């Protein structure tokens, strides 16, 4: 029996009102999924060469403090901080916007150089 709930049409929620979900996903594949990235597994599911059989919510946290994995909590904190910066970009001092732009350009250049190597 497949237990996949209908996806929400509005994935983006207000960070102040956001809930966090620990999810367990079960699937069958015709390949070793430990050797590929999650995006490739999803692509194979879309192609019909792998099958998602269940999505189970094992825990719901009403805020970041409810996330018991420090690394995951820190990642969400960073994402929320970046979203706040983007929402208020015009209010940042020009020097700070310039530093941010330079840092992002440098990361992009390093990503391209690393991919070419």
Same domain assignment for residues 37 and 94: no
Looking at residues 83-103, what average pLDDT do you find? 91
Same domain assignment for residues 58 and 75: no
Domain count, the chain: 2
Looking at residues 25-41, what average pLDDT do you find? 94
Same domain assignment for residues 14 and 51: yes
pLDDT of residue 65: 94
Phi, psi angle pair for 59, to nearest 5°: -160, 145
Same domain assignment for residues 98 and 56: no
- Which residue range is the domain that position 21 belongs to? 1-63
Q: To the nearest 10°, the Cα dihedral for 23, 27, 32, 38?
A: -40
1-24 pLDDT, tens per residue? 444 444 544 555 555 578 999 999
């Amino acid at each position: 029996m497949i237990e996949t709930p209908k996806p929400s049409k509005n994935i983006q929620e207000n960070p102040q009102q956001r809930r966090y979900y620990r999810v367990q996903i079960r699937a069958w594949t015709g390949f070793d999924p430990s050797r590929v990235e999650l995006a490739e597994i999803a692509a194979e599911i879309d192609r019909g060469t792998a099958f998602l059989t269940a999505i189970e919510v094992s825990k719901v946290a009403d805020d970041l403090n409810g996330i018991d994995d420090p690394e995951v909590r820190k990642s969400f904190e960073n994402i929320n901080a970046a979203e706040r910066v983007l929402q208020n970009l015009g209010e940042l001092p020009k020097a700070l916007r310039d530093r941010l732009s330079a840092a992002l350009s440098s990361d992009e250049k390093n990503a391209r150089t690393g991919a070419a190597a």
